Amino acid sequence: MKTSDKLLETVPLEILIDKHIGKVGTERRDAFENELRIELLGNAIKTARIDRQLTQEQLGELVGVQKAQISKLENSVTNARFETILKVFAALGARVTFSVEMIK
C-alpha cells in the first residue's frame, strides 16, 4: 500500500493544543488563550464596522479616538482600555455581554 492510500488519523484540536501549547492552567497556555481572546475581539470589531459600512476613521470619530487606535484594536496590536472597547461596540450598535466563571 502506498503512503497516499493510507487514511489520515483525525486528532481533536484540544489534544494538539495541549501537546504543542501546553495543558490548561500552564503559563504558556494561559498566554495563548488570552491572545486568542484579544484577536477574536479585534475581529468582532472589524466585522461589525464593515457590516455598518463605516471606515476606521468614521468609527474613530464616533468614539472620539484616532483612526490609528481603531486599526490597533482590529489588529490586536494594543491592549485597549475596557471603556474604549465598550464605546466602540456602543458606537457600532452592538450589545456587549460577558460572563465570569470562577475556577478552583
- CA dist 45 and 88 (Å) reads 8
- CA dist 99 and 104 (Å) reads 16
pLDDT digits (tens, 9 = 90+) for 77-99: 777 888 889 999 999 999 888 88
Residues of the chain with pLDDT under 70: 1-5
Give me the pLDDT at residue 5, please.
62
- Using an 8 Å Cβ cutoff, are 52 and 93 in contact? yes
Q: C-alpha cell of 81? A: 482600555
Q: Where are the domains of the chain?
A: 12-91
Tell me, which fold does domain 12-91 have in CATH?
434 Repressor (Amino-terminal Domain) (1.10.260)
Residue 99, helix vs strand vs coil: coil
Helices (H), the chain: 13-20, 27-51, 56-63, 67-74, 82-91
- CA dist 89 and 81 (Å) reads 13
**Model pTM?**
0.73
Q: C-alpha cell of 28? A: 504558556
